[in-house]
Amino acid sequence: MNRIGLLTAWVMAISACIFLLAPLLVIAAASFSPTPVFDLPTSGASLRWYQRIGTLDGFWPALGLSLQLALVSTLVSLVLGTAAAIAIVRGRLPGAEAFAAALTSPLMMPGLVLGIALLQSFRGIGLSNPWTSLFLAHLVITLPYVARTMIAGMTRFDFTLIEAALTLGCTYRQSVLKVMIPALAPSFLVAGLFSFLASFDNYPVSIFLTDVRSKTLPIKMLQYIEEAPDPTIAALSSLILLGTILLLVLADRFVGLSRMAGTNE
């Protein structure tokens, strides 16, 4: 690459990083605000908004519901998505490529459209339990993330290792459990992380499937922000961010962020 190209690349990369971090810094700063206005603090700092997180109206049920949905749908998707990825990459599955494309296609799907389509269907079969409908919807949201990551991970896995394990006296089950699963651990981690976040932050699908009593955290947060934006929301988001930073540091140590971003390294 010539010099001008390289310079452009660096300027763009550094500006992009600053640009991407800007709103996160604002949130972190606002969370320490001593005044009840969601704005950058001008004088002093206070931790009072962190203490108030738990007292937000309907916060604990919403957090509980969102955590449950994200955990359960991620776990189920990990099992089903991995099974499907094995069949696609390795098995003699008729129409494997078309199936792989179909399985990842909900990624490109406008969330609101999926939301109203599911609303119509659930109403059609008389399913009105919000937990079940949200769980089924979040399964459709998370499965494509898992399928995509696991298909990519399996494609890189050297399946002759399983044959080697078989030759060395392992049973088929042992060779899968002791050789394949550990080798694919980074893919599981990445798939699980993206799938969890996709479910935890989902607004456009969930909004059509909740009722007054069961609202997910993003729906509650938009409601708080529209009704009375005080720094409590900023405090809550800062805690989530802090958790993610810890996860990213761990992921970098064990998987490497380059690999998380989809390179072969």
**CB-wise, 69 or 233, nearer to other proteins?**
233
The vertex-78 CA angle with 74 and 84, nearest 5°, equals 135
Q: How far is the CB of 113 from other proteins (least distance, A)?
A: 4
Residue with Cβ nearer other proteins (16 or 47)? 16
Smallest separation (angstroms) from other proteins to the CB of 146: 9
Q: Quick count: other Cβ atoms within 10 Å of Cβ 66?
A: 24
CB atoms within 10 A of CB 97: 9
> Which is nearer to other proteins, 22 or 45 (by Cβ)?
22
Q: How far is the CB of 55 from other proteins (least distance, A)?
A: 19
Q: Distances from the Cα of 216 to the Cαs of 22, 90, 113, 167, 228, in angstroms? A: 26, 38, 19, 51, 18
Nearer to other proteins, 92 or 213 (CB): 92
Nearest approach, Cβ of residue 185 and other proteins (Å): 19
